[in-house]
Amino acid sequence: MKVLNYMELKIPSKSQNEAFARVAVAAFVAQLDPTLDEVTEIKTAVSEAVTNSIIHAYEDKIGEIIIKGKIYENYVVEIEVIDFGKGIEDVELARQPLFTTKPDQERSGMGFTVMETFMDKLEVTSEVGRGTCVRMFKAIKKRKSEGAEN
């Protein structure tokens, strides 16, 4: 599938950058004229992925998070959130609802579940000691342009 546009954003794993990442991705996707629901779902999924990197990947230090976005000619958006932190020992276990490695921080363990709910497809790859890549895909419904005949 042909890529129509792409972007890449690098941010430090600081909690205040979670909102920035969410808004930056929303601005990138805006060129497809998504519905408010579609934008909200993408922003929520990005927020969860970035928060996971901030809380789990780097724990007590600041690291780098890379966010990549691609828009394909069929109106599919791909978002990657990549960190170079500690990695996930058991990805399948981590994807289970309510699983958390930080119960003392009142973490709900619903991050991956939220991402899966709001996106059409979720892929998680991770290597202990090297980091994690979360790839999310969402098809944006193409609408008829205003004033077009039915």
Q: Which residue numbers are catalytic?
A: 48, 52, 107
Structure tokens given for 117: 């709910």
CB 49 within 8 A of CB 110: no
Which of 134, 143, 142 has its CA nearest to residue 78? 134
What's the chain's length in residues?
Answer: 150
- What values do phi and psi take at 5, rounded to 5? -160, 160
